[in-house]
Amino acid sequence: DTEVTQTPKHLVMGMTNKKSLKCEQHMGHRAMYWYKQKAKKPPELMFVYSYEKLSINESVPSRFSPECPNSSLLNLHLHALQPEDSALYLCASSGVLAGTYNEQFFGPGTRLTVL
């Protein structure tokens, strides 16, 4: 199973709402990533988890709160977002062995619209 799943596919939320994005993989990968992608731009890294611990936070505002409850699951909790946070949110996973080819497998993304 070389699949990363993301739910929901689409999400519309108001600025006062609290919502969560979910990402799941069953490839035994111990690194998981959140990327944000605005229209016509490349993906930008938000967070990296390695062995369920946060290893990289790219100075993301605290209204985005990641969580990695186990090695297969990655969540992104959203609270008090702004309209400019509307984007495609991509989750990815990969192996963690150094010095080897570690392809990142991407999920289909969640298209988020903040009203």
Q: Interacting stretch for other proteins, rule CB under 8 A, among 12-20, 29-37, 67-75, 78-86?
A: 29-37
**One of 19, 20, 27, 50 touching other proteins (CB under 8 A):** 50
The footprint of other proteins on residues 66-95 (CB under 8 A) is: 88, 90, 92, 94-95
**One of 1, 42, 59, 70 touching other proteins (CB under 8 A):** 42
**One of 13, 27, 45, 60 touching other proteins (CB under 8 A):** 45
3 state SS for the chain: CCCEEEECCEEEECCCCEEEEEEEECCCCCEEEEEEECCCCCCEEEEEEECCEEEEECCCCCCEEEEEEECCEEEEEEECCCHHHCEEEEEEEECCCCCCCCCCEECCCEEEEEC
Least spacing, CB of residue 115 vs other proteins, in Å:
20
Task: Say whether residue 55 binds other proteins (CB under 8 A).
Answer: yes
